[in-house]
Structure 1
Amino acid sequence: MTTANSLEQARFNMIEQQIRPWEVLDGRVLELLGRVRREDFAPAAHRALAFTDMELPLTQPAVDGQCMLAPRVQARLVQDLALKPTDKVLEIGTGSGYTAALMASLAQRVLSLEIEPALASQARTRLMQAGVTNVEVRQADAAANGFAACRADGPYDAILLGGSLAEVPPALLGLLAPGGRLAAIVGDEPVMRATFITRAGEADYRSAQPWDTLAPRLRHFPEPSRFRF
């Protein structure tokens, strides 16, 4: 079996054995997973593991929280965000750039913020090499100063957070356009839930938590006090 055939078999197995069983059944997303080369976004040291059901560290040595999420988690988040071709998307936590590449094929454009300069630079290069032209990767601390780094570009039709947080800040919800959707992994270990919030009206936000997973924390998002009086 050639290397190319081995890669395609591994990609097929990833889709059929990991992603479909996780209720990722949208034909558009499945087609994308077969076309967007995940191995090209994986860090070189772990390229051979690009299709495995695990998080991949993006730095050597590994730094806590800087990882590529498992394929099934990335795919389900993108599917359940239900992107439309006219959508303007904000992603917080670019990581490898792979999730941004998936969303770029489904939406009009993506602004992706990455706190780590080296990861932002690498993601830009990977996206350019993959021919993705409608993603802007911006190196910034997204949560700083009331989301100042992305506020002026809003509102957004969709927001996706590439890591977990304790709770969704109201200032971030305020960046959603009417009808806009936000996808985040919310909670504390050992229980975190994929959380989807839709802005139904000016101050009307509707939330659903359809599945559980775990993901590393996004940096500098507020942690609520554990103390109660």
Structure 2
Amino acid sequence: MSAPSFLNAQLQSRGIRSPVVLGAMRAVPRQLFVPDPLRANAYDDNPLPIGHDQTISQPYIVAFMTEALMLTGDERVLEIGTGSGYQAAVLAEIVERVFTIEIVPQLALEARERLKRMHYDNVQVRVGDGSRGWPEEAPFDAIIVTAAPEQVPEALIDQLVTGGRMIVPV
């Protein structure tokens, strides 16, 4: 069994049911989003360090948060906390447009280049403070925050469409 298929089996055993989310997780090569020395561990269900005191989220959390957004495919999604770009790539497999903000300039640059190389042309990466959102591209159908704010930023609420969905680990 391939590593992505094994990971999908693990995700299903933990309650991930959406065929769309499982398909996106299988389609995105996680090993390309982790540092070379950690590639052998890319499909372990653990967070891994990506530098700058940041991590790539464990696959279960990526799948869980993505499934919770209940995406149908035609949405515009804002992600706060680009990191390596992995979550953005998973979202890009599902939705029309992904806008992602990273506060660490080097991570944003690396994610932008990686996503471009992988032909995720429906993802835009910006350097900035995610708590301010991306007002010039708002409103968004869904917002996912992969950082851990103390509270939900008001600016993000204001940038969500009526009836939109936001996932924030507070």
TM range (shorter): over 0.9
1:166 has 2:158 as partner: no
Aligned-partner SS, 1:132: coil
Distance 1:10 1:86 in 2: 29
What is the Cα-based RMSD across aligned positions, in Å?
Answer: 1.4
- Equivalent-residue separation in structure 2 for 1:178 and 1:140 (angstroms): 25
Check conservation: 2:49, 2:55, Cα contact below 8 A: yes
Identity of aligned residues (%): 36
Q: Runs ≥4 in structure 1, deviation > 3 angstroms? A: none
More strand by share: 1
Instruction: Show the counterpart of 1:208.
Output: none
1:34 corresponds, among 19, 26, 38, to 26
If asked which structure has higher relative contact order (CA below 8 Å, sep 6+), I would say: 2
Secondary structure class of the residue paired with 1:106? coil
Choose between structure 1 and 2: higher helix proportion: 2
TM-score by length of 2: 0.93
Question: Which of 108, 113, 117 does residue 129 from structure 1 map onto?
Answer: 117
Contact persistence 1:22–1:76 (CA under 8 A):
no
C-alpha contact (below 8 Å) 2:24/2:91 kept by paired residues: no
SS at structure 1 position matched to 2:168:
strand
Structure of larger gyration radius: 1
Partner in structure 2 of residue 76 of structure 1: 64
Q: Which runs of 5+ in 1 are unaligned?
A: 1-7, 187-229
Residue 16 of structure 1 aligns to which amino acid in structure 2?
A: A
Cα distance per residue 1:10-52 (max 9 Å; x no partner):
22221112x1122111111111222211111112221111111
Q: Offset of 1:126 from its aligned partner?
A: 1.4
Task: Report deviation, 1:171.
Answer: 2.6
Determine the C-alpha separation between the residues in 2 that align with 1:162 and 1:82: 17
Provide the aligned length of Structure 1 versus Structure 2.
170
1:104 alignment partner in structure 2: 92
| CA deviation profile, 1:183-215 (whole Å, cap 9, x unmatched) | 1111xxxxxxxxxxxxxxxxxxxxxxxxxxxxx
**TM-score where L is the length of structure 1:** 0.70
1:62-84: per-residue Cα shift (whole Å, max 9, x none)? 62xx1100000001111110112
Whether 1:53 and 2:45 are equivalent positions in the alignment is: yes
Aligned twin of 1:85: 73
Whole-Å separation in 1 of the counterparts to 2:118 and 2:12: 25
- Report the secondary structure of 2:109's partner residue: helix
